[in-house]
Every structure is written in structure tokens, then in C-alpha cells.
Amino acid sequence: MFISSAFAQAAPAAAVGSDLFGSFGSLLPLVLMFVVLYFVMIRPQMKRQKEHKTMVEALAKGDEVATAGGLVGKVTKLGDHYLTVELAPGVEVQVQRSAVTQVLPKGSLK
């Protein structure tokens, strides 16, 4: 009495190519997000890793280095995976090569 009857309407005819574009169009923002993520986060991180690897491979005896733990000293011995750093006269510490974060300019330690 108060509610009118509802009748179903026929769906409009879909165009042939619109379904393909509709599904691709819904994936487009997701693809764009991954492209932006690659250029903003992944690519710079890979570049930093490559620079760190070349720096660690180029270490030589006598280089002054800073480690991830904050130790600063001069490289006295080199090994495949470890190196020995002299912190003070007579005080030597063995650290992993990957722990070296920075090669300091010559003469920065006195």
C-alpha cells in the first residue's frame, strides 16, 4: 500500500572493447604505484649497496676507516672477510669488512 512495486530494468548493452579497458584501467594505479616505488626506494638502495661494496673491496692497508659501531682507526691487516683496525697505538680490533661504513680522508686521525 505505501511501498510501490520495483521493476528491474534491462542493463545497457556494453561496447566490445570497454570491458578490456575497464579491467586494465583498474590495474593502472597499482602498476603506477609499483613504478614510483621502484624509482623512489628500490633503485637508490641498490645504488647505495653497489657503492658500499666497491668501497669495501677497495680497502687497503693504511686506510683510515669508521665502522658501524662507531670505532675509528687505521687498517693494519686485511683478510677475505675480516680486517684488523688499529684504534690506538697497541690496540687492535678485528672487524668484518661489511662493518666499515666510511673511508676517512688521509690524516684525519692523529
Span 44-89, pLDDT tens digits? 999 999 999 999 999 999 999 999 999 999 999 999 999 999 999 9
Per DSSP, the residues of 23-91 read: HHHHHHHHHHHHHHHIIIIIHHHHHHHHHHHHHHHT--TT-EEEETTS-EEEEEEE-SSEEEEEEETTE
Q: What's the CATH code, domain 59-110?
A: 2.30.30.60
Q: Quick check: helix, strand or coil at residue 77?
A: strand
Q: What is the residue extent of each domain of the chain? A: 16-58, 59-110
Q: With bands split at pLDDT 50, 70 and 90, how would you rate the model's confidence at 32?
A: very high
Higher pLDDT, 105 or 3: 105
